[in-house]
Structures are given as structure tokens and as C-alpha cells.
Amino acid sequence: MFMAATATQAALSNGARTIPAQLALSSEAGTLKRSVMRELLKLTARADVISLAGGLPASELLPLAQLQECIETVLRRDGTRALQYSPMIEPLRRWICDTMRARGVACEPEQVHITNGAQQGLTILSRLFLNPDQPAVVEAITFTGIQQVTAGRGAVMRTVPTDLATGVDVDALEEAFHRTPRPRLAVVIPDFHNPLGVSLTLEKRQRIAELAARYRVPLVEDDPYSALRFDGQSLPPIKAFDEAGAVFYIGSFSKMLAPSLRLGWIVAPAELASQVTVLRESIDLESSTLIQRAVSLFVEQGLMAGHLARFNAANRCRRDVLFDALAHYLGDRASWTRPEGGLFVWLTLREEIDTWALLEDAIAAGVAFVPGAAFALNGGSHNTLRLNFSNVQPELIPVAVERLAQVIKQKGK
């Protein structure tokens, strides 16, 4: 039995407060669970712990001075217009549209809806399509935010496995689409999957778009990571193969620029673009005018390419150091995915090791990771874990992996 309630797990649930009996929560609030990830990150914030648990870009690689200049310029140049409510900023929509076109997506600026990050894109699309007690198709191991929005809508989860080398299992996806009742929505992560690190093959991208069209299932392509490629060939998004208007692409500036901007976008099929806007307005009206204008200026000045080149070069170096350290310290005890970008590597250990129990020893030994089970909708994955390589100094990576290897060896004795 691998479900041992470890002290770490107990600590993660301690924050739960009792709700006064007379206040009845909505069914959505009742369904939502505290984010294990957020709580875990608090536990791993100790100065002597090297954390490979987070999912952040490194702070020292954020373009602070350039963003500061853009914000100041916008305030000086645009004055109070930058502080008002306003429609979406057109030059930013056009830049997103051009970027998508360069990746093979035939779209118009009117199809681009600016959101507060990818998470809000997921919320908007879940609200657009999901009804309680009806099926949503999601990967069995996936980003917890996808689980939160779909479960929060009361959807019945229909899960599909993901191959660690080629991405989501498309035969399983077809089977899930084929079953009655027809799913109301499906969500997949195409590039540098969180938490698996894998990217979909070109052939699978084509087939997924075909399946969404054939079975008339709205397909959400959640893609915050594709701009973070540092090796190999960039592939067109699933949306590039969407002839039927069944695919909704979600992008984000969080990882490619800075998470706190809270800026992302949806590319919707033309016929549904205005529905997306109406639904979004019901949530929070619009994204910050100031931030949209500042990011627009950043990209108009051509600063994105240089920033991404620096950022991705640093991440490639960190990933390489991680691969070397894994081969050196854990070569005979673990297997891992080989991402060509993004932020994460997924490790599989021997069957007898429970990574929740391992985490306690690891934190005591000064290293942190996220147990794979935290991402698993159907349980299981007890012997897996996610490692982040972007937010740790390269020279600390071998130290962290050596510590991890030591606790794994002790458990494996």
C-alpha cells in the first residue's frame, strides 16, 4: 500500500479551516481542493533546501529593467488612458495573431482574446462548454489547474493516458470521444508538458485536430511552454490543423516573460470569438490596460526574441546539468523524460518507492521535488516525481541530485 499519510501530507492539509455550519458553500467551492503545490512550495522554502519543486522561471532571468522601462514609457506616453478601462489593446492582439500565423495558425486578430494568464483561459473555456455531471476528457496525469477548473464545474472526468515519449495516447482519446455521452470538452498540453516534460509528435497533433472535428468535441490546447524550446524543431500547434473550428488555443506570457503580468490569450474559432468575450466579461471585465500596453510595447520594440534567447540558453544549460547529474547519480535507479524545452523533467523510480514518503526524507536531506501522485487524477504514479530545472542555480543542481540519490538509495535498500 503506497498511500501512507506522511507527515508532509498531513502538513499540507493543516491549513483547511472549518466552515461555519450556517454558511452553505456552492457545489463548485465544495469540490475544489487546496492546491497541494502552493502548500508544498511553502514547506520547501527553507534556506537549506534546494528546491526542484517549483514551476517558475528564475527571477534573475526576468527582464526587469526592460519591463520597468516599458511600464514607465506607457505611463508617460499614454497618461490616464493607461489607467482606464479599455477594450483589448489592438497592437498586442495583432502581435499575438502574427506569432500564431508564423506557427501555421490561420487566424485574425478578432479571434484573439486577451486573458489574465492561461489559467483564466481554462476557466473561460470550461464555463463556455462544461455542465455539471457531463464528461470532460483530460490527461490522467496533468497540471493541477486543469483538474481544478474541470472538476470545479462538476464535470465527470474521463481520463486518457499520456505516453512519456510522444504525448497523449490518441487511440485512448478517440475511445473517450466515441463513448456516450459525448464529452463536452477535452484538454491537452502539447509542448513540454507540465508535469511530464513530453511534447506531442506532429502526427498526433494532426490526428487530435481531426478527432475533435469528427466527434465535435471542443478541444482546448493549453500551451504556456512552446516558446521555451531550446533544442530540436518547433512544431505547429494542434490549432494549425483545425479546419473545422473545434480547437481553442491557450497561450501565456507567464513563462515566456513574467508570471506576475497575469497575461495570456485564447485563439478561438471565429464563430465563437464573441461568446468568449461575453463570458469573460462576466468574470472580471478585462485584463489590465496598463499591463497590456506595457507588454505590447515590449514586443513592438522587438525585445521578445532577445529575452527568449537568453532565457532559453540558461534553461538549456540547467537542463543539461540536470541530465548529467541524473545519469551520474541515478543512472541505474531511475528513468526520466528528455524535454527539449520547458521547465520540467519527470522521473520514474523503482516500483517499491513511494515518492510521498521519500519527500519527507528528501526535505530533511535538503532537497525538494513534487511527488508525481500530486498530478495523478486516478491515483497511482506513487513511484514518480517532477523535477524543475529552471529555478535553481546550475552549480546547485548536482548537489540536489546527489542528495536525492542518497535518500532514494536508503529507501531502496
**Residue ranges in contact with ligand PLP by CB under 6 A:** 55, 117-119, 143, 145, 189, 194, 222, 224, 252, 254, 259, 264
For the chain, helix, strand, coil in percent to 5 are: 50, 15, 35
CA distance 142 to 57: 19
Closer by beta carbon to ligand PLP, 388 or else 403: 388
Q: Which three cell numbers stand for residue 61?
A: 532571468
Q: Which three cell numbers stand for residue 205?
A: 497533433
CA distance 379 to 373: 6
Closer by beta carbon to ligand PLP, 215 or else 344: 344
Instruction: Tell me how long the chain is.
Output: 413
**Beta partners for residue 267, in sequence order:** 112, 249
CA distance 293 to 78: 9
Least separation in angstroms between CB 396 and ligand PLP: 22
- 3 state DSSP class of 258: coil
**Beta partners for residue 264, in sequence order:** 115, 252
Least separation in angstroms between CB 117 and ligand PLP: 3
Closer by beta carbon to ligand PLP, 168 or else 353: 168
| Packing angle, helices 289-300 and 64-78, rounded to 10 | 110
Least separation in angstroms between CB 253 and ligand PLP: 7
Closer by beta carbon to ligand PLP, 58 or else 399: 58
Q: What does the DSSP assignment read for 176-198?
A: HHHSSSPPSEEEE--SS-TTT--
Least separation in angstroms between CB 344 and ligand PLP: 9
Give the torsion through C-alpha atoms of 348, 349, 353, 359, to 10 deg.
Answer: -70
Q: Which three cell numbers stand for residue 301?
A: 520594440
Closer by beta carbon to ligand PLP, 258 or else 358: 258
Closer by beta carbon to ligand PLP, 117 or else 341: 117
Closer by beta carbon to ligand PLP, 6 or else 234: 234
Closer by beta carbon to ligand PLP, 194 or else 312: 194
Asked whether the beta carbons of 31 and 147 are under 8 A apart, the reply is no
CA distance 30 to 65: 43
Least separation in angstroms between CB 214 and ligand PLP: 25
Closest residue by beta carbon to ligand PLP: 117
Least separation in angstroms between CB 220 and ligand PLP: 10
Q: In what order do the strands lie in the sheet with 370-371?
A: 334-336, 344-349, 384-388, 370-371
Asked whether the beta carbons of 137 and 367 are under 8 A apart, the reply is no
Helices (H), 285-343: 289-300, 303-330
Least separation in angstroms between CB 405 and ligand PLP: 27
Closer by beta carbon to ligand PLP, 119 or else 391: 119
Least separation in angstroms between CB 294 and ligand PLP: 17
Least separation in angstroms between CB 57 and ligand PLP: 11
Main-chain dihedrals φ then ψ at residue 163, nearest 5 degrees: -75, 135
